[in-house]
Amino acid sequence: MDAKLTYSGAMPKTIWSPEDKAAIVKNLAFIRQQNERYPQPRINGAMKVGIRPNTPLYYPVAATGMRPMTFQVTGMPPGLVLDKNTGIIRGKVQKAGDYTLQLTVTNKHGKAQRSLKLLVGDQLALTPPMGYLSWNVVEGLISEPFIRELADAMEQFGLRDVGYQYINMDDCWQGNRDSSGNITPDRFRFPNGMKVVGDYLHAKGFKFGIYSSPGPTTCAGYPGTLNFEESDARTWASWGIDYVKYDGCSVPGERAKELYGLMGNLLKASGRSIVYSGRKDSGAHLWRIGGDLRDQWYIEGRDVGIIQSFEKAIVNASTQQPGAGSIPICW
């Protein structure tokens, strides 16, 4: 069957089942209640962050406690600025080096302080990325309205305040290639383009992740990057991408190491600090060691359950280090 969605007027919104929506609202409300239960400010999130010189930084000071609160940061290198109301640090640092920032968060119930190590150099993902991946919830129904609603919910219910920062799209976002070979998003589900989506996430302090595969097609049959690697890396950077999941479908076996390594080098030279989830021997920051994670304790077949994912992590614990580590899930 060859079909496409057409509509007039406003773009259709993602429809959640009543059960799914109720469960999500309940879980997010519980997180917010826990945050409000302890009104004193507390600083959360990574204590060490790596970026490359002269690449954009979006770092929200993750803090729980009763709002309103104010933020103060001292020791910032030239090029960075702090929004004292939202606690988001932005900018670019030109000079490589290690910097120690002192974070202070204050509300009417007290004050919290902590140091943040900012390493400007060649290391990224110094701690495991925390965030959301779309596949297990919407699979092929990923869209701009869904991403916006998700970002709003993660902000509203306090997930950003405990350190969650990445919002990553999985497969099925792709449209066709234009006459110059540049990949484009599905024009019905992303009518405003991807840069608009990235700008929306960055304004809230989130980071933007995307998905592709080194072969001619992705796992869901959408265009992969084979023979378009340089173009796609450049396009993703122009959209403001911060994370790339490079999957393993339709990859020419004899060229696998070469193709994963090629994308790693292109992302490194993209002008952005893009975290790369790919293959262990290709310069990736993360690599998968199992199938997709499912909401069961144990599962037979390619995918893994919760307990199985922990078991795989334990087996691979010796390979973990800042900037390089395995992930027993579908990130």
Dihedral sign of CA atoms 24, 30, 32, 35 in order: negative
Q: How far apart are CA 186 and CA 212, in angstroms?
A: 14
Task: Say how many residues make up the chain.
Answer: 331
Name the amino acid, one letter, at 56: P
Asked about 242 being catalytic, the answer comes back as no
How many other CB atoms are there within 10 angstroms of residue 249's CB atom?
15
3-state secondary structure at position 323: coil
Which parts of 181-226 fold into alpha helices (H)? 194-203
Q: In sequence order, what are the residues at sequence separation of 6 or more whose Cβ sits closer than 8 angstroms to the Cβ of residue 288?
A: 277, 326, 327, 328, 329, 330, 331
Asked about 247 being catalytic, the answer comes back as yes
Catalytic annotation, pick one of 161, 171, 232, 247: 247
Q: How far apart are CA 106 and CA 31, in angstroms?
A: 21
Q: How far apart are CA 46 and CA 276, in angstroms?
A: 18
284-319 burial by CB neighbour count: b if 16+ within 10 A, else e?
A: bbbbbbbbbbbeeeebeeeebbeebbeebbeebeee
| Strands (E) located in the chain | 42-43, 48-51, 57-60, 63-64, 70-74, 80-82, 88-91, 97-107, 110-120, 131-133, 166-168, 174-177, 183-185, 207-212, 243-246, 275-278, 286-288, 325-327
Instruction: Give catalytic residue positions.
Output: 247, 292
